[in-house]
Amino acid sequence: MSLPAPRSDRTCLVTGASSGIGEAIAGLLASRGFGVTLVARTESKLRTLADELAARHGVRVEVLATDLTDAAARGALLGRVEDLGLEVNVLVNNAGVSTLGTVFRSDADQEIAMLRTDVEAVVHLCSLFTPGMVERRNGSILNVASTAAFQPIPGQAGYGASKAFVLSYGHAIRVELRPHGVTVTTLCPGPVDTGFGETAGFDPDEVDGLMPQFLWESVDAVAQAGLEGMDANRAVVIPGLANRVSARAAWLTPRRVLLPMLAKVHPGMRGA
């Protein structure tokens, strides 16, 4: 099974499309002739991208600026898409943020905002958009997790747990949706140079111990791997051989051995 064919009344809704992996995925979908609907908070960036994609690929592009931490704003997305005369048949839950540091130095509001973006929004949009996909027996979902999903992360505890949630959730809803003609793929990238780490508070000079150079993949390679994974109806996609090996090793290593080692090198544990 491959991605559903483009149609003028159907759209690919991509969250976190204003930068990084989401922007690249939206670009790849547009290059294949899909109409795309771009979601993030920064409307100006979405509008610039929309103009660029429409001009370059001759596709329909809409902008729905939304703060995904806001449950009411998320809930309104279905109606806003319907008002445009569109149905979502490809849903890319990509928007995400991370905090950095120990729980005892955390800002509770930032921790909750991360869970709302990384977990609640994924669940909410899947609940909103899958009924239509099931009714039409047509749809594909790509949820963006991370190799952070394969082990708990001292120094980034909430982020690791969020991505473990997205991975587990993706496996389960894939089985629920398969008989209804809807596919679910979970994309688990290792490190990608998008500015995501800097936004989280990582100092680029400090990350080498945690994320050595051989694990890094380009944003285009990650987006491409995600689309190929949807095309091939893969359950999980981990871009890059080194990331596949290290995710498997992390999954299999006993927690009592792995976590103290991780804690030693994680920048979020400095001064802990």
Question: Is the separation of the CB atoms in 3 and 227 below 8 Å?
Answer: yes
Nearer CB in complex with ligand NAP: 117/138: 117
* Least distance (Å) between residue 91 CB and ligand NAP: 14
Angle, helix 157-177 to helix 108-115, in steps of 10 degrees: 20
Q: Under the rule (CB under 6 A), what is the footprint of ligand NAP?
A: 15-22, 40-42, 45, 66-69, 94-97, 117, 144, 146, 189, 191-192, 194-197, 199
Quickly tell me which residue has 């120990």 as its tokens: 102
Catalytic hit among 159, 169, 196, 202: 159
Nearer CB in complex with ligand NAP: 27/138: 27
To the nearest 10°, report the CA torsion of 111, 250, 237, 217.
Answer: 80
For residue 257, give Cα distances in angstroms to 8, 96, 147.
Answer: 53, 29, 18
Residues forming beta bridges with residue 192, ordered by sequence position: 217
Q: Distance between CA atoms of 19 and 21, rounded to whole angstroms?
A: 7
* Least distance (Å) between residue 117 CB and ligand NAP: 5
Nearer CB in complex with ligand NAP: 66/140: 66
Q: Is 159 a catalytic residue?
A: yes
For residue 199, give Cα distances in angstroms to 6, 100, 196.
Answer: 34, 10, 5
Question: Is the separation of the CB atoms in 186 and 170 below 8 Å?
Answer: yes
* Least distance (Å) between residue 69 CB and ligand NAP: 4
* Least distance (Å) between residue 116 CB and ligand NAP: 7
Nearer CB in complex with ligand NAP: 3/215: 215
Which positions are catalytic?
A: 159
